[in-house]
Amino acid sequence: YAVEPSIELDNLTFKYPGTKAEVLKNITLKVGKGETLAIVGKTGSGKTTLVNLLLKLYNVDDGKIKLGGNDINRIPVKKLRSMMGYVPQDNFLFSKTVKYNVGFGHEDITDEEVKHFTQIAQIYDEIMSFPKGFDTELGERGVNMSGGQKQRVSIARALAKKPEIIILDDSLSAVDTKTEESILSHLKESLKDTTSILIAHRISTIKHANQIIVLEDGEIAERGTHDALVAMGGLYADMYKKQLLEEKLSES
């Protein structure tokens, strides 16, 4: 394997505790350090479950998941959480300052760092247009951000952790495609050693992933690069065609 493996799944099968259905089946996967894995698939195909397992929200058997070469069961939860920058779909901001929201968990964050990470997340200019810049209060007693602005602040927060692995779970759904593409490419440039997992609905934004997997009913139905998957003419190619058509229709 060319680069040091960052994430390895070995024939992982998973049922939620107390249920019978296998929601992930025989998932085998390697993601190299600094690489990007994109996961696509219909609602209910198991994308979030896979992320839940990487975040250690549920237990798996020994030998099934390794992070940085170590079995996930040997990594203390606290250490694991510090390795991971996770941006959930429904991100949460505190009714406190921008700086607090970006630095959450790192009270010693400097203005320089807040600037750097908000620039990567492409929210810096908008923050600077607020009355008190980084010290602007958000929420009920302050500025009410749009959904897309909140998402970008959440990304800046995940970046500020300097994580080994960053997971974006459809985290840019409220920004337009161009901005999403631009944020993801800046992210890639500034986080060369950070492994990224993107759960994405817009295929246009994951074209450059090193590896794309298509989940269907908990199984990897297809895997490869964007070009390879399009050439294969299967599920991914169908999704892509459909999205291109939708884009055309919405433009006209």
Q: Which residues bind ligand ADP (CB under 6 A)?
A: 16, 19, 23, 41, 43-49
* Closer of 113 and 169 to ligand ADP (Cβ): 169
Instruction: Name which of 43 and 144 has its Cβ closer to ligand ADP.
Output: 43
Burial of residue 57, with CB atoms counted within 10 A of its CB: 0-12 exposed, 13-18 middle, 19 or more buried: exposed
State which H helix or E strand residue 156 sits in: helix 147-160
Distance separating alpha carbons of residues 145 and 138, to the nearest angstrom = 7
**Cβ 221 to ligand ADP, closest distance in Å?**
12
Minimum distance between the CB of residue 9 and ligand ADP, rounded to whole angstroms? 15
| Rounded Cα distance, 237 and 227, in Å | 9
Give whichever of 160 and 239 is closer to ligand ADP, judged by the CB atom: 239
- Least separation in angstroms between residue 17's CB and ligand ADP is 8
Nearest residue to 152 (alpha-carbon basis) of 130, 132, 180: 180
CB of 13 to ligand ADP, least distance (A): 13
Cα distance between residue 46 and residue 217, in whole Å: 7
Instruction: Give the span between the Cα atoms of 6 and 8, in whole angstroms.
Output: 7
Nearest approach, Cβ of residue 131 and ligand ADP (Å): 39
Torsion angle of the four alpha carbons 90, 95, 96, 102, in this order, in degrees rounded to the nearest 10:
0
Nearer of residues 43 and 252 to ligand ADP, judged by Cβ: 43
Query: CB-wise, 43 or 250, nearer to ligand ADP?
Result: 43
Q: Which residue bears the tokens 């991971």?
A: 84
